[in-house]
Amino acid sequence: MIEVANVVKVYRRGKTEVRALNGVSLTVPKGQFLSIMGSSGSGKSTMLNLLGALDVPTSGTLRIDGKEISRFPDDQLSQFRRDRLGFIFQFFNLLPTLSAVENVILPELLSGRSREELEPKANALLEQFGLKGRGSHRPDELSGGEMQRVAVARALLAEPALLLADEPTGNLDSKTGAEVLRLIREATRERNLTVVMVTHDPKAAEVGDRLVRLADGNIVGDESVRAAA
């Protein structure tokens, strides 16, 4: 599913160079839930941005489903992102003036599909995620956990192959965070979705299948996670 080979990412700011990734190689099979941990500045977000085709590596290759994403022209890249990738963020990134349903369907609406087609799917997802009857609520009428569940529904609406999550529980209390993680785990397992999740929280990493540790742009640990009983 994902093949990362010798990826180096160097940021240049004026005369200073930061080597955010220092030759990282990693293979993630389809359906695997991979957690990436590491201290602040270790390269986690850089890795996720490269996998999400939001940035390109300085050298090395990233393949998703056999396709080398860093070689895509811009128009193909945005289409690939829309069709194949789902994103979840720490701060939910919902639009405050839109209802929950409208937030869920917005990306697909912008890529040209109709509201009539999308709304029933969005409502079904919201219901599956325990938000029946909340579809017309705006984000400020929802709790943090509910907002993140809306964001998960938005990420899954287009039936992506790969879900990328950057600290999805970083803004939730531990009980709510655990509930949201369980939901992500179940919803992605059901769909045989590959997940790459960046987290600070060792508890969060336990829901995944595998844990990779980053330090100073290098992989310093790679272990499988025993499913909690």
Interacting residues toward ligand ADP by CB under 6 A:
11, 13, 18, 20, 38, 40-46
Sheet harboring 59-64: ordered strands across? Answer: 16-28, 2-13, 59-64, 67-68
Nearest approach, Cβ of residue 90 and Mg ion (Å): 9
Query: Which partner in Mg ion, ligand ADP, none is near 91 (CB below 5 to 8 A by kind)?
Result: none
* C-alpha 111, offset from chain centre: 20
Q: Rounded distance, CA 90 to CA 167, Å? A: 5
Nearest approach, Cβ of residue 149 and ligand ADP (Å): 24
* C-alpha 165, offset from chain centre: 3
Nearest approach, Cβ of residue 161 and Mg ion (Å): 23
| Window 54-73: contact mask with Mg ion (x via CB under 5 A) | --------------------
Decide whether 144 or 170 has the Cβ nearer to ligand ADP.
170
171 near Mg ion, rule: CB under 5 A:
no
Q: Which residue is nearest to Mg ion (CB)?
A: 45
Q: How many residues does the chain have?
A: 229
Query: Which partner in ligand ADP, Mg ion, none is near 11 (CB below 5 to 8 A by kind)?
Result: ligand ADP
90 near Mg ion, rule: CB under 5 A:
no
> Residue 156 region, left (φ>0) first, then alpha (ψ -120 to 50), else beta?
alpha
Query: Which partner in ligand ADP, Mg ion, none is near 60 (CB below 5 to 8 A by kind)?
Result: none
Q: Which stretch binds Mg ion (CB under 5 A): 43-51, 105-113, 139-147, 201-209?
A: 43-51
45 near Mg ion, rule: CB under 5 A:
yes
Yes or no: say if 31 and 67 are a contact pair by the CB < 8 Å rule: no
Yes or no: say if 24 and 186 are a contact pair by the CB < 8 Å rule: no
Query: Which partner in ligand ADP, Mg ion, none is near 43 (CB below 5 to 8 A by kind)?
Result: ligand ADP
Q: Rounded distance, CA 170 to CA 159, Å? A: 25
CA–CA–CA angle 177, 179, 223 (5° rounding): 70
Nearest approach, Cβ of residue 45 and Mg ion (Å): 3
Quick one: which of 93, 90, 100, 101 has its CA closest to 177? 90
Decide whether 45 or 128 has the Cβ nearer to Mg ion.
45
Q: List Cβ neighbours of 190 (8 Å cut-off, separation of 6 or more).
A: none
Decide whether 18 or 227 has the Cβ nearer to ligand ADP.
18
Tell me which residues touch Mg ion (CB under 5 A).
44-45
